[in-house]
């Protein structure tokens, strides 16, 4: 039995206007039990954060997060959003290094590291994403790729700061493809990541850190994935845009 409370996070990607986002989170709240077993988090696009924060004003069951952040408090960084601004709008979490940022926008481990550390400095909890491509998996490089992303993305983070960090293992070939990792494939990588965490930050931090699985998590495969010993929750993309389906995933922990 693990003492880690599962986290189910919904990444809404670049979907939903303000009104649609408020309606979606309201519909989700209507479907959650009074005391969900999992911590529940939604990650709307920047433009909908304030509307969702408002919809969640008297709601303690759902936390708010953003999909990306810069590391500075403010400055001449056109197009970027500061972690302090995210706190100001009501966020407690932020993604760092989602595979779509890495694949489509060229984000490196060094950049992901800056974002994660900037989030920590501001008092936000980063969810640091790692995962191999299909080519890397087919070449038998999954564990080494993930280990290297982990070390690079968390360089300079202290064992104490790890109390505020969540990891998400998201195989690139499983994101938005409808092809999820099998529970055994997910568990193999999660167990390895926990071992790597032990080497980097010590056994206590490794045991306490939540490692989410992401990649085509759906209502019908969530329970099997979440049932694995080292899978401490899920980062859900497409299926989080449906309130009923996402609530079912939240109930699958």
Q: Which of 39, 70, 170, 190 is catalytic?
A: 170
98 is catalytic: yes
Q: Within positions 140 to 199, which residues make up the interface with ligand PEP, using CB under 6 A? A: 170, 175-176
- Looking at the Cβ atoms of 12 and 71, the one nearer to ligand PEP is 12
**Shortest distance, CB of residue 191 to ligand PEP, whole angstroms?**
20
Q: Measured in Å, how far apart are the chain's first and last C-alpha atoms?
A: 13
> Taking the complex as a whole, how short is the minimal distance between the CB of residue 240 and ligand PEP, in angstroms?
7
CB 153 within 8 A of CB 197: no
Segment 209-238, which members bind ligand PEP (CB under 6 A)? 214-217, 235-238
156 HSE (CA, 13 A, CB side): 13
Q: How many CB atoms lie within 10 A of CB 65?
A: 26
Q: Is 86 exposed, middle or buried (0-12, 13-18, 19+ CB in 10 A)?
A: buried
Residues 48/16, Cβ–Cβ less than 8 Å: yes
Using the 8-state DSSP alphabet, how is residue 49 labeled?
H
Among 98, 132, 136, 190, the active-site one is: 98
Tokens at 166, concatenated: 């969540």
83 contacts ligand PEP (rule: CB under 6 A): no
- Of 118 and 215, the one with the shorter C-beta distance to ligand PEP is 215
In whole angstroms, the minimum distance from the beta carbon of 8 to ligand PEP comes to 12
Helix (H) or strand (E) holding 66: strand 62-66
Total residues interacting with ligand PEP, rule: CB under 6 A: 14
Give the residue numbers marked as catalytic.
Answer: 98, 170
Chain residues in the site for ligand PEP (CB under 6 A):
11, 13, 170, 175-176, 214-217, 235-239
């Amino acid at each position: 039995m693990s003492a880690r409370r599962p986290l189910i996070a919904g990444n809404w990607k670049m979907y939903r206007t303000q009104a649609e986002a408020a309606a979606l989170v309201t519909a989700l709240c209507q479907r959650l039990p009074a005391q969900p077993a999992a911590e529940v988090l939604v990650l709307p696009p920047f433009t909908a954060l304030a509307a969702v924060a408002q919809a969640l004003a008297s709601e303690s069951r759902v936390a708010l997060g953003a999909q990306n952040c810069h590391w500075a408090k403010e400055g001449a960084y056109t197009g970027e959003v500061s972690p302090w601004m995210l706190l100001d709008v009501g966020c407690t979490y932020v993604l760092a290094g989602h595979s779509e940022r890495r694949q489509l926008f060229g984000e490196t481990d060094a950049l992901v590291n800056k974002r994660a550390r900037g989030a920590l400095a501001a008092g936000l909890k980063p969810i640091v994403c790692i995962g191999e491509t299909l080519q890397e998996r087919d070449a038998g490089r999954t564990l080494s790729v993930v280990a290297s992303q982990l070390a690079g993305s968390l360089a300079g983070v202290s064992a104490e700061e790890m109390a505020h960090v969540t990891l998400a293992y998201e195989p690139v070939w499983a994101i938005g493809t409808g092809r999820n990792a099998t529970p055994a494939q997910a568990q193999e990588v999660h167990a390895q990541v926990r071992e790597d965490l032990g080497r980097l930050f010590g056994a206590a931090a490794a045991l306490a850190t939540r490692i989410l699985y992401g990649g085509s998590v759906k209502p019908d495969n969530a329970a099997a994935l979440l049932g694995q010993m080292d899978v401490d929750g899920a980062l859900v993309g497409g299926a989080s845009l449906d309130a009923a389906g996402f609530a079912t995933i939240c109930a699958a922990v």
